[in-house]
Structure 1
Amino acid sequence: MRQSRIASYGASLLLAAACALAGPSTAEPAPSTVATGYVALGDSYSAGVGAGSYLNSGAKCLRSSRAYPALWAAAHAPSSFGFTACNGARTSDVLASQLGPLGPRTGLVSITVGGSDAGFGRVMATCVLPGRTACLSAIAGALSSVDGTLAGNLDRLYGAIRSKAPAAHVVVLGYPHFYHLNGTCSGGLQDIERSALNDAVDRLNDVIAERAAVHGFTFADARTAFTGHEICSSSPWLRSVDWLDLTESYHPTAPGQALGYLPLLMGAI
């Protein structure tokens, strides 16, 4: 009898030890901890400026139902969708006012940011006016910002995103070239200015991609996605200058969002 009790006690100890060893490493995560939410951060390129069909919520931000974040969310039904991207947002604006929806359950974050920090809006407003010297000078000023403060601004923002959403896969989307050189445009800027603008976009993307890699984020190159669809191409996905609505100038159209940025995001996930 005593040997039977000892054997039973020993078996119980072995079972308890096996459960203790197997428990934490093999147990399924609780549903409440699964990171499946999606948060879309950034500037006008993520908000969908230029695509039309703007949402009533956050009207001043010009968020569009045709923007790539809204299209992805509609197709994939994430457990939550935070769409805080806003027209004109700089890295400091994203840091100050867009990170609220991020949390432990955020599984995907997308962002375009950096163009406003460099002042590309002012550059384009200058370059559409007559005068090559003023245009090239404005581009040089933007590049000074890109080479000077942008990397540090991105580091602060990317660090905050990772801190608030530790489980998220973060996709940093770049900017496309504005112009197709030797294209169909018969007026406006000359190819010298167009080439200089494209080169500035290259420099901007290089800094963004470098800082994204340092933080373990995925960089998705919009230049590839928009190849053959720049302004002055036969099938542009970017708006040229619109004197009646300058805000939408040099932004992706609805096809640019659906056929350019959306597949770019999907391919990076």
Structure 2
Amino acid sequence: MNSSRSKAFCRTVRGSVAALALAGLAVGTGASSAWAADGAPLSYVALGDSMASGPLIPDITGPVACGRSTHNYAHELAASTGASLRDVTCSGAASKHMTEKQSLSLLDIPMGSVPPQFDALRADTDLVTLTIGGNDTGLVGIAQNCTTLDPNATPCKERYNEGGVDQVGQRIAEFAPRMAAVLDGIHQRSPQARVIVTGYGLYIKPGGCWPLQPVLPVDADFLQGSVDRMNAVIAEQSAAHGAEYIDLATPSKGHDSCRAPSDRWLEGYVPTAAAAPLHPNRQGEENYARIIGAHLQGS
């Protein structure tokens, strides 16, 4: 996810062949390998932002500024199934970076650029996973703006509703057609592919846990509520544009940033594991892969 503040922290079956190949897809002990009908490994492309790339989770692969981990959910899923993976996920990616190159920076130092993520798609791609939206809506930057150690501070929610205008709601509404265009673009380039779209997880429990995570209770609900609203838009657009949506917030219950470090799938403002603030840790990425694999196996 991006924004000037978040850079400092990171510094996100349509064809019969795919349907047959994925029928036995599984994740975990004893998982079956994923093979296409011609006997080749399943061709899998992972698209998305830092939620999918896994910044600061060892080990890094690809451009350093993309924060792409060898233990993000795409790599975990591919390792468990034998799929042939092309992972082009990248921290800071927004919907526009599916068709435009993305300029990279680390600690505000320019680090070149990466090609449009759609360049990885092929006509014979069997499986695509996608996680996108957090940077379009700017939710990480909003979360940073909401921190306070003053229990009597004015809730930051009010800043984003000045004059009765729901600024976050506007951003989420504006994202909907962009999401639709991304999904249509995937189908155009990879008409055989089964397209799996994930939502974002449960970052903070209802009411929060101030001061462990330094946001007021009302703002904790505002922030997670905004994530939930974005997830709803992602789900709606997925259903309308031939993709399968996977909810990651519900299974994340009990694993948010308020929990003990050993139970967390998502880190808070000060990570307790090797992960970027307000992003999944390795345990989170592994569980996301498990959830995606279970969906593929059961459908």
Fold match by TM threshold 0.5? yes
Select 1:31's aligned residue among 38, 62, 66. Answer: 38
Q: How does 1:1-269 map to 2 (within 5 A)?
A: 31=38, 36-55=42-61, 57-78=62-83, 80-96=84-100, 97-129=116-148, 131-138=153-160, 140-147=166-173, 149-181=174-206, 186-187=211-212, 188-234=214-260, 235-242=263-270, 248-259=276-287, 261-269=288-296
Which consecutive residues of structure 2, in runs of 5 or more, have no partner in the other structure? 1-35, 101-115
Q: What is the CA–CA distance in structure 1 between the aligned matches of 2:125 and 2:140, rounded to whole Å?
A: 31
Count of equivalent residues: 235
Q: What is the CA–CA distance in structure 2 between the aligned matches of 1:183 and 1:137, rounded to whole Å?
A: 19
Q: What is the CA–CA distance in structure 1 between the aligned matches of 2:250 and 2:218, rounded to whole Å?
A: 22
Note if contact 1:50-1:252 (Cα within 8 Å) is conserved in structure 2.
no
Note if contact 2:41-2:82 (Cα within 8 Å) is conserved in structure 1.
no
Q: What is the CA–CA distance in structure 1 between the aligned matches of 2:90 and 2:256, rounded to whole Å?
A: 23
Note if contact 2:264-2:283 (Cα within 8 Å) is conserved in structure 1.
no
Question: 1:155 corresponds to which letter in structure 2?
Answer: A
**Moved beyond 6 Å, runs of 4+:** none
Which consecutive residues of structure 1, in runs of 5 or more, have no partner in the other structure? 1-28
Once superposed, what is the RMSD of the aligned Cα atoms?
A: 2.5
Q: How far does residue 135 in structure 1 lie from its aligned partner after superposition? A: 4.7
Note if contact 1:126-1:138 (Cα within 8 Å) is conserved in structure 2.
no
Q: How far does residue 214 in structure 1 lie from its aligned partner after superposition? A: 0.5
Q: How far does residue 233 in structure 1 lie from its aligned partner after superposition? A: 2.4
Question: 1:164 corresponds to which letter in structure 2?
Answer: R
Q: How far does residue 101 in structure 1 lie from its aligned partner after superposition? A: 1.8
More helix by share: 1
Q: How far does residue 184 in structure 1 lie from its aligned partner after superposition? A: 5.5
What is aligned with 2:24? Answer: none
Question: 1:69 corresponds to which letter in structure 2?
Answer: A
Of all paired residues, the percent bearing the same amino acid is 27
Q: How far does residue 185 in structure 1 lie from its aligned partner after superposition? A: 5.0
Q: How far does residue 54 in structure 1 lie from its aligned partner after superposition? A: 1.6
CA offset digits 1:53-77 (Å, max 9, x no partner): 222x222101001101011112222
